[in-house]
Amino acid sequence: MSESDRVTQSRTQTSGGTAARRLTNTQKRTCAPEQANAPNLRLPCAELDAFVDYLRVEKGLAANSVVSYHRDLKEFVAHLHELGRDLGEVGREEIRSYLILLYRRGLRARSVARHLVSLRNFFRFLVKERGVRTDPTAEVEAPKLGADLPHYLSIEEVDKLLEAHDTSTPAGLRDKAMLELLYATGMRVSELVSLRQDNLDLNLGVLRCLGKGGKERLIPVGKAALRAVESYVQRGRGSFLKKPGAPYLFLNHRGDRLSRVGFWKILRRCGRRAGVVIGLTPHVIRHSFATHLLERGADLRSVQVMLGHSDISSTQIYTHVLMERLKQVYRTHHPRA
């Protein structure tokens, strides 16, 4: 399977939907009120609404995936408005010229491929549900994607990150617990900040995680992470609690659920204190989790389950990381390398 096919599979496959038909009748929003009943497809906010609801309701995509689709398609629609074109008039050359424009804006091949996936699925939906005659993306070739190996941290760098907290403060206890849990489970940052208190069983050492598309998985949690979370719950969380019964495990200073952006800020501060700055993101912690497991003999299928990958091809990239590391060890240490 090619990389572009995996990108397409990872986002969604298109088919018809009742949600789209309901929205056809209601015409939820338009960009220009005077064109709400226009017969053409200019300013197609209603079409975008129908497609977004189809992704959310019928395909069951995660909120972040839906937002990504909507953002990509709004950019394309804005481009069409500048050209004075309708969706029904878009052909293969218009799609190609738009992709070239994205390259000129500085987007990398992987990002351009994502835009093309959004357009493919949108136009397939329009053909099936909204009367557009042809799919202009059908004969457009996806960008060639290189094998970008995921960046990960060494065990020494991870140790520095996990120790770079002042655990005498509630914020330090919380930040340490979040980082320990992120590295111990390989969760996505959106999954981490969405954790509820009853998702983690401290006695059994098991975490119930709700992943992409509402899919639930169970992940074992190591003792170090369990101790850090228990310390935060007992000595730190109460300082953030502004109203009784708050369900989320990790709270901000207003007593609300900590946001993804809030955790990014915490990670950056932690990285500066630990001297681990270059390329540090929550996903790098996830990559480190998977790579360190495989280095120590974990089987690929188990890592796939813990990461929540629906396709094992998404997990296989970590085997390439290990091979590159073996090559580097060989070149460094073999006398005739």
Which of 54, 69, 152, 318 is an active site residue? 318
- At 138 the three-state DSSP class reads coil
Q: 176, 286, 287, 292: which one is catalytic?
A: 286
Distance, in Å, from the CA atom of 320 to the CA atom of 298, rounded to the nearest integer, reads 15
Active-site residue 152, yes or no?
no
Cα 149–150–154 angle (5° rounding)?
120
Q: Is position 29 annotated as part of the catalytic site?
A: no
- What is the rounded distance in angstroms from the CA atom of residue 241 to the CA atom of residue 245? 9
In the annotation, is 253 catalytic?
Answer: no
Long-range contacts of 239-243 (CB under 8 A, 24+ apart): 239/170, 240/170, 240/174
34 vs 37: CA distance, rounded Å? 8
Cα 87 to Cα 74: distance, rounded to the nearest angstrom? 12
Q: Is 232 an annotated catalytic residue? A: no
Q: Choose the catalytic residue: 283, 301, 320, 327.
A: 283
* Torsion, Cα of 197, 200, 204, 209 (10° steps): 150
Residues whose CB is less than 8 angstroms from the CB of residue 187 and which lie 6 or more positions away in sequence, other chains included: 181, 207, 209, 219, 286
Which residue is catalytic, options 188, 237, 287, 292?
A: 188
Does the annotation count 151 as an active-site position? no
- Active site annotation includes 92: no
Backbone torsion region of residue 255, taken as left when φ is above 0, otherwise alpha when ψ lies between -120 and 50, otherwise beta: left
* Alpha carbon 71 to chain centroid, angstroms: 14
Residue 128 main-chain phi, psi, to 5 deg: -80, -35
Note the Cα 95 to chain centre separation in Å: 25
- Distance, in Å, from the CA atom of 102 to the CA atom of 111, rounded to the nearest integer, reads 9
Catalytic residues: 188, 212, 283, 286, 309, 318
